[in-house]
Structures are given as structure tokens and as C-alpha cells.
Amino acid sequence: MDFALNEEQQMLQASARRFFADRHPLARARRALPWSDPLQQRLWADMAGMGFMALLLPEDDDGLGLSLTEASLVAEEAGRQLVNLPWAASAVLLALWLKAAPRPAPAVLQSAVQAALAGERALHCVAETDAWWDHAGQCSDIVVVRGWHDPAAPLQIALVDASALPCAEALDPTLRQCAAPPPQQQQALQWHTLEIPAEARAHARLAHRLMLAAELVGAAQAALDLSAAYARERVQFGKPIGSYQAIKHQLANAWMGVDNARLAVLYATAALDGSLPDARFACAVAELEAIEGALACTRTAIQVHGGMGFTWEHDAHLYLKRAQHLAARLGGASRALDQVEALALA
């Protein structure tokens, strides 16, 4: 398989990189702005104006009809700048549910996707069984999902006003979270059933997880770039520290981890789009490579920066904590390895 990006994909990646670098630098990520801040709402509207919400929707739904590969490029660039808006949930998971839903689509799903497409609402999806809801206060709505992980159970969603949730700091200082309401309180929510075939539900779930893996690749690449630049500039004993094998080998290993993860994600998106026989296995490998590569790379970034890197005020910690957060959202490296082993043996 040829992993080289075509001209259109390269243009999309370059425009996304410029957009997020200009509109969401790390200084802004540190502020962890709430959805009520006009800057946060303007950023989301501008992302919609760039077409980032419409990538996977068909043209009949005012979309661009592109593939998961193009979506992963945008996700990687968002991860590079530690964007703290729920793009993967709004533009991928909900969009694929709408695409697979029988017509006329459920009104609650149709209105949610169209509002995201217009840049008016930012929706983040959480499972009913999650103990913590991330992006609390940083998006317009939390979409609570029943049957997300159980294909035999009915797929139901309920919308919660995210601005009214009591927020607390998360491990990642660029994000906010809140404890999930108790089960009896969730029972009182207004639930809507989505009649989506099991195969389409599994496809959407895998695609959403691949976007999180792509965000991991972006965060890891940014940490690697930061480390390589520092290793070229920092001089010790009259030579840049990057010329010493102790640093050079660490950066080389980090680069290999990021490159392996990126290639695994690109193949998985192509396999999932093409319904290849090994699509599920490719997705499991991509998750494993992204988690291990991002954690190793962001830890290396702290080591390369020495004593300065160990201070929490340094940007290297932002990448490490985002990598840990996304790894936890995916279930961790052990779960990914178990999935790879199970699918390989099967």
C-alpha cells in the first residue's frame, strides 16, 4: 500500500496545520477556555468554516464526502496543537451515525450534526458507564450514550447541557472534567433510540477511536519537534547536546515510534474505509502503536530537556499529559495489546 499523501491530502494537512497553529497555540491551550468564552465559540465556528466538520458527511447532507484518511490528517494537526474541543465526537462519531441512520434520521441526531456543521454547537460523546466526563464546560453539549460498547444493546443517546456541569481540573491542564451523575439521575434524562445497524455502529466506534489515535500521533510529533529543536540549540561542553549518542539515540527511537504510529493509523483508516478483512486488526495495531509511541516520545521530550523539562511549567508536560489522557480514553496499552493478540490468534 502506498502511504504517500496525494496533492489534495497534502493541501488539507498544510491548511489544517496553519489553521490550528494560528488559532490555537499552546499559550491558548494552557488557558483551558470554557465554551462560554467567545474565543472558544469563534474557534469552533472557524473550524466549521474550514470544512473540518463536514469531512465525512455525504454531499446530500452538506458534507464533503471524504474518507477517514483525510479526517485523520485533521485529527493529527489538532493533536499537535492540543486543541481542547471535541472535534472527533462531533465530526466523526455523530457524523457517521447520521450517515448510517435510516431516513428520515432521528430529529435529535439530525439537529445535533447540523448544528455542529454550522459551527453553533460542539458536542462531546461519553459512555453511560464512564465515571468521568471530560470536556465538561468546554463544549455546548455532552452526549451520553447507551450501548456504545455493547452491539447487542439498543443504541440510545441523551443530551446534557455541558455549561451547567460543575467542572474540575483534569490531569491534562488544558482540559476540564466532571464526575458523571449517579445512575438514578441519568435515568431521568430524555433518551432517544438510534436505529443504526450493528455493523455501522462498530464502524463508527472504530473510526472515532482512530481519530483519538491520530491525535496521539500529533501530540507525539509536536513533542518530538520540540525536543529536536532544543537538542540542536542547547550547547554542553562546546557541542550541541544532540550530537551526543545519549540524546541522539533517544530522539531516533522516538522518531521511529511516531513514524510507526502514523503509518499504522494511515493503514487502519484505509482498511476501515475499504472494508478490508484485516480492518479490525489494523485498528487495534494502530491504537497500540499510537499509545506506546506517544507515551515514549513525550517521556523522552522531558528527559531531553533535563532539569528544565521536569518542571510542570514547561510545555513538554502538556504533551505528556495529553498523551496520558488520550491513552486512558482508549483503554491503555494493555487493552490494545490484548486486542491485537486476540485478533491475531483468531
Q: What is the per-residue pLDDT across 168-207, written as a single tens digit (0 to 9) for each?
A: 888 899 999 999 988 888 888 999 999 999 999 999 999 9
Task: Domains for the chain: give ranges and CATH numbers.
Answer: 7-194 (1.10.540.10), 198-345 (1.20.140.10)
Q: Using 50, 70 and 90 to split pLDDT, how confident is the model at 150?
A: confident
Cis peptide before 104 (omega within 30 of 0): yes
Cross-strand partners of 142: 124, 160
Least confident of 3-7, 79-83, 108-112, 318-322: 3-7
Distance CA 206, CA 44 (A): 24
In this predicted structure, the answer to whether residue 3 has a pLDDT above a threshold of 80 is: no
Q: Alpha-carbon Rg of the chain, whole angstroms?
A: 20
pLDDT of res. 158: 95
Which of 36, 33, 66, 37 is CA-nearest to residue 52?
66
pLDDT of res. 171: 85
Q: What is the pLDDT of residues 23-42, one digit of tens each?
A: 999 999 999 999 999 999 99
Distance CA 156, CA 65 (A): 26
What phi and psi, each to the nearest 5 degrees, are found at residue 6?
-75, 180
Mean pLDDT to the nearest integer, 265-273: 96
pTM for the predicted model, two decimal places: 0.96
Distance CA 332, CA 346 (A): 22
Q: Are the CB atoms for 159 and 133 separated by under 8 Å?
A: no
In this predicted structure, the answer to whether residue 1 has a pLDDT above a threshold of 70 is: no
pLDDT of res. 226: 97
Distance CA 285, CA 271 (A): 12
pLDDT of res. 325: 96
- On the 0-12 / 13-18 / 19+ scale of CB atoms within 10 A, 110 is middle
pLDDT exceeding 70 applies to what percent of the chain?
99
pLDDT of res. 185: 87
